[in-house]
Amino acid sequence: MKRILITGANSYIGTSFETYMQQFGDDYQIDTIDLKDGSWKEKDFSGYDSIIHLAAIVHVKEKNEELYYQVNRDLAVETAKKAKDEGVSQFIFFSSMSIFGVDTGVISKETMPQPKTPYGKSKLAAEKLLGELDSPKFKVCILRPPMIYGPNTVGNYPRLARLAKKSPIFPKVKNQRSMLYINNLALFLKLMVDSQLSGTFHPQNKEYVNTSDMVEKIAEINNKKIRIIPGLDGLIQFLSKQINVFNKVFGTLVYDREMKGYPGSIIQKFQLSYQDKNFEKSIKATEASEKIIN
């Protein structure tokens, strides 16, 4: 039996992972711990095979930049050191695509991290310090996922889904986005734990996603009619340069398929496949869950 400890109680990724892993029964024991106060320091980490570190802050005011470092860097490193001292064999740290500081284009193996935000900077700082703890007996595994979506998620996906269900029209854009379905991520985590791998990975769906195609698919699944309007490329490009949210929705931002962790790539000696669902099936599953909830 694998014993897994998740830091960050009630996190979307953590709770989704727990739900996904229920299908494997008693082969896995998953516990969670809240790091908001100092009581976690009394928790006995010995006996756990892996710790999945999700405790973090994403959105605080810029003037509180030091808080990003206190939580995203210092707390992560302190937790990892405790885990190492108490015999945990693997520490999985959730970093972010934002460590590259790239808003548009393709992120490749040659792309150097140049974070622009306090969130990205603090995550990269944590990566560097955690890397120093890596050893044959303490595997440090760093994940840099793109946009994650699935039932009950927050962010751009539910905004687009609401638009797809209400708007009669949507612009046709020729963009591509790297995205990651929550169950694909859960399966990736399972494979990381099973294989006890270390290193830095960039998990994503096998297919890049076109925003117009996604909106059209969401509308279709919900029996809504929506017309995809071509010929607005110039306006979309202009607005994307002026308004950040437009760039996040309509711009192109992908991990190159050569990035470590791409589906089907050879990771060390393991040929790992973590595509629980392809894009179309993942959208159907997400929207079906939303219907049940609503």
Query: Domain 2-144, what architecture?
Result: 3-Layer(aba) Sandwich (3.40)
CB count, 10 Å around CB of 4? 22
Q: Please give the distance of CA 215 from its chain centroid, rounded to a whole number.
A: 21
49: three-class secondary structure by DSSP: coil
Q: Which residues lie closer than 8 Å to 164 by C-beta, 6 or more apart?
A: 170, 215, 216, 218, 219, 222, 224, 226
pTM of the shown model: 0.91
Cα 222 to Cα 39, 44, 115, 170, 287: the distances in Å are 46, 47, 38, 16, 8
Predicted pLDDT at 156: 82
Predicted pLDDT at 241: 54
pLDDT tens sequence for the chain (294 residues): 999 999 988 899 999 999 999 999 999 999 999 998 889 999 999 999 999 999 998 877 656 889 999 999 999 999 999 999 999 999 999 999 999 999 889 999 999 999 999 999 999 999 999 999 999 999 999 999 999 999 988 888 888 898 889 889 888 888 999 999 999 999 999 999 999 989 999 999 999 999 999 999 999 999 999 898 885 565 556 445 544 555 567 789 999 998 988 776 645 445 567 888 899 999 999 998 755 433
Predicted pLDDT at 288: 85
Structure token digits, residue 11: 């996190």
Predicted pLDDT at 293: 39
